[in-house]
Amino acid sequence: MGVLEDFPELKHRITAEAYHRMGEAGVLAADARTELIEGEILDTAPIGSRHASSSQRLDRRVKVPLYARHGVPQVWVIDLENGLVHFHSRPDGGAYADICATERPGATPVAALPGVSIDLSGML
């Protein structure tokens, strides 16, 4: 990272509302591939691009712990590079208590919707 990482107190974080207003006002291009994570705007890979390693790093190091901190009951990370689906469940603070992976995902229960499953077999 850059030198600015040493000065987090100088950063101005924005809200989701401000982020959406920026899009509506044209500050962010209509086709811009960005996302807001913890108040910072991040560029994302273009749709259809092979961005597996950079996306995996962001998903596993930033998004999954963020989701756990906010109590998201279940996260699935599709790892195209290694042909795996990683399942994270039972959030506990900033991590998930249960983590497993499979090369052959099938019908997967949705933790937030009892009785609902999604067939992930076509994801890889």
Reported as a single tens digit per residue, the pLDDT across 57-111 is 889 999 999 999 999 999 999 988 899 999 999 999 889 999 999 999 999 999 9
Does 118 lie in the same domain as 77? Answer: yes
39 and 71 co-located in one domain: no
Is 99 found in the same domain as 64? yes
Q: Are residues 55 and 40 in the same domain?
A: no
Domain membership of residue 6 as a residue range: 1-44
Note whether 73 and 32 are same-domain residues.
no
pLDDT at res. 12: 87
CB 66 within 8 A of CB 58: no
In tens, the pLDDT along 13-46 reads 999 999 999 999 999 988 889 999 999 999 887 7
Tell whether pTM > 0.95.
no
Q: How far apart are CA 37 and CA 59, in angstroms?
A: 11
Cα separation values, 64 from 25, 34, 70, 123, Å: 31, 18, 10, 19
